[in-house]
Structure 1
């Protein structure tokens, strides 16, 4: 990989590009941690309080739909189990139950957005497990009964759990019971939950105030040093330089094009395994636009915004995506194709309440020769078609999610078929 730094010569842009992942992770911590503990109550007084509970799971119990607007480009395959770990007071032990044959993963990201470890179907299996996660200063003894030990590079870790769910009824109820068995405790068996002052307004997602940015980064650096071999460029020479660099860098990262073209109008926004290395620009771009994405061994997200002719996909037209016989996505878990409006990056409400289609979709129809065609359009193509409804008279894009992708995808040897107008 190669380091890709910003254009400015005074170093302020470079310092922002390097530290932006730290700030955005702290912003996500403020936005996704719990205000209330089930036994100990609220972490702080009043809705304006920045106090939150960490070392505690929070769960969604249903798949997201078109009325959910908190997360852009959400998936429609799994429910989430979210936790932020604070390892400054010692290790945390995570209990996870027997998941049967179900796909699940707990992805661990450090404060620099490196997806450095996993627990789950691909990485550790589906048996009951006890995972010990510790920070860089812990030198204790691993107790009996621990199935794996994860050494975190810093004291702050974002744990994002995804559990496959097939419906919003009976299967969702089974998954909810599994989520209830995800627990965190200390080595002595006590509750691991603790209060932290996030210092941030979780509702503010814009370009941050320079003083707030500087204070947040400085605090985060004390607990999460730069990755080994990375020279720290912080702080900028002057506060004035930081104030000028922040809006410029944020605007540039938002406008960046997806850098990894796959052919056929497809591109992939995230190509990382466990560490971004010295590719600071990509690390910052993902932190701003796709924060929380899994590493490619766990999942890949090829995205199409144009058809075979390079024209933007639009709900005023009809399209077909055809996988030739034996040439469908190659995955160890499952795949899905999800539809989003370009205007807000959210699901498209439609009469059949279908927001994604894939190898688990009931009634999926293959042609006699084994090929699979998916119709992307606003109007119903008829009962014999595999229909993924598009927004009427609006631009859209689709994401092909590949869970546990095979080497064909990982090595970028897979031929992605183009989306063709009908």
Structure 2
């Protein structure tokens, strides 16, 4: 993919004129184009959240050293495992976009090809909690917690886009649109003296692979692709596009984005 990017970009004049009058995202994507520069701009705007979400997943799961020690203020863990933050975040916490220090996080990145998964949670009483299910394009379409279900959630059954099997009775289904899905839980902490109470709740949060009725096991740690833009031979100006090329190897382009996805083949970005 990287070699194709170079072959397309090198002999082509980078014509910015067509975008100079654009004042909105809609104008950037208006009309068909075969111009490599315009396609690169569109790929950057469209692909940035996809790449950023993948970077966060890889930083959290650390596929090169999945069981390496982690700070107690972050909830990262190997792929398909639930991590727990045991201390409140401080100014040195470096994960995600906006860490807070009045909740403890429970965090998992799932490879839905290794699923399906079942998330079981305890009775939280009147305490605030929420579980967010973040798609691989960084969008959140589902979140459940105290405001939606009260003191306790039903079992959450998490599946990938191709799953057509059985569903446990009484479970709430979360269906990912892509291969990867983020599960981020937050539980309110009322100061440092409340930490042991929240730890007991965290210890009762279980994320397991579902094999059938009454059959729940620890999920395997699956392999992940490393982002091509991290290579030393990729110029800085092409790193995001190279990373997007890696992400698209596991990507399902929606019907809404089908025309855009097809046009990006001209600069070497091919889904699948």
Seen in structure 2, the aligned counterparts of structure 1 residues 210 and 96 have a Cα distance that, compared at 3 Å, is: farther
Structure 1: distance between partners of 2:245 and 2:97 = 29
Seen in structure 2, the aligned counterparts of structure 1 residues 55 and 73 have a Cα distance that, compared at 3 Å, is: closer
Which residue, 194, 205, 216 being the options, matches 2:221? 194
Question: CA offset at residue 83 of structure 1?
Answer: 0.7
Counterpart of 2:131 in 1: which secondary structure?
strand
Q: Which of the two has greater strand per residue?
A: 1
Structure 1: distance between partners of 2:26 and 2:180 = 26
Structure 1: distance between partners of 2:154 and 2:202 = 14
Structure 1: distance between partners of 2:63 and 2:266 = 37
Question: CA offset at residue 210 of structure 1?
Answer: 6.0
Structure 2: distance between partners of 1:194 and 1:153 = 21
Seen in structure 2, the aligned counterparts of structure 1 residues 10 and 65 have a Cα distance that, compared at 3 Å, is: closer
Question: CA offset at residue 89 of structure 1?
Answer: 2.9
Structure 2: distance between partners of 1:112 and 1:168 = 35
Seen in structure 2, the aligned counterparts of structure 1 residues 61 and 110 have a Cα distance that, compared at 3 Å, is: same
1:164 pairs with 2:164: no
Question: CA offset at residue 43 of structure 1?
Answer: 4.0
1:182 pairs with 2:205: yes
In the alignment, what sits opposite 1:360? none
Structure 2: distance between partners of 1:150 and 1:73 = 25
Counterpart of 2:44 in 1: which secondary structure?
helix
Question: CA offset at residue 85 of structure 1?
Answer: 1.0
Contact preservation (8 Å) 1:12, 1:236 = no
Structure 1: distance between partners of 2:102 and 2:266 = 46
In the alignment, what sits opposite 2:156? 131
Seen in structure 2, the aligned counterparts of structure 1 residues 155 and 73 have a Cα distance that, compared at 3 Å, is: closer
Question: CA offset at residue 143 of structure 1?
Answer: 2.5
Question: CA offset at residue 13 of structure 1?
Answer: 0.4
Consecutive unaligned residues in structure 1, runs of 5 or more: 37-41, 46-51, 243-422
Q: Which of the two has greater helix per residue?
A: 2
User: What is the TM-score normalised by the length of structure 1?
Assistant: 0.47
Seen in structure 2, the aligned counterparts of structure 1 residues 14 and 236 have a Cα distance that, compared at 3 Å, is: farther
In the alignment, what sits opposite 1:85? 110
Seen in structure 2, the aligned counterparts of structure 1 residues 140 and 180 have a Cα distance that, compared at 3 Å, is: same
Question: Which has the higher Rg, Structure 1 or Structure 2?
Answer: 1
Contact preservation (8 Å) 2:63, 2:224 = no
Which residue, 53, 63, 67 being the options, matches 1:25? 53
Which residue, 169, 172, 180 being the options, matches 1:148? 172
Question: CA offset at residue 209 of structure 1?
Answer: 4.6
Question: CA offset at residue 141 of structure 1?
Answer: 1.0
In the alignment, what sits opposite 1:217? 244
CA displacement, residues 102-143 of structure 1 (integer Å, 9 cap, x when unaligned): 111111111111211112112333225311011111100113
Counterpart of 1:187 in 2: which secondary structure?
strand
Structure 2: distance between partners of 1:140 and 1:82 = 26
Seen in structure 2, the aligned counterparts of structure 1 residues 75 and 43 have a Cα distance that, compared at 3 Å, is: closer
Counterpart of 2:197 in 1: which secondary structure?
helix
Consecutive unaligned residues in structure 2, runs of 5 or more: 1-23, 30-34, 69-76
Structure 2: distance between partners of 1:213 and 1:57 = 29
The equivalences for 1:10-89 within 5 A come to 10-33=38-61, 43=66, 53-70=78-95, 73-89=98-114
Structure 2: distance between partners of 1:119 and 1:192 = 23
User: What is the TM-score normalised by the length of structure 2?
Assistant: 0.70
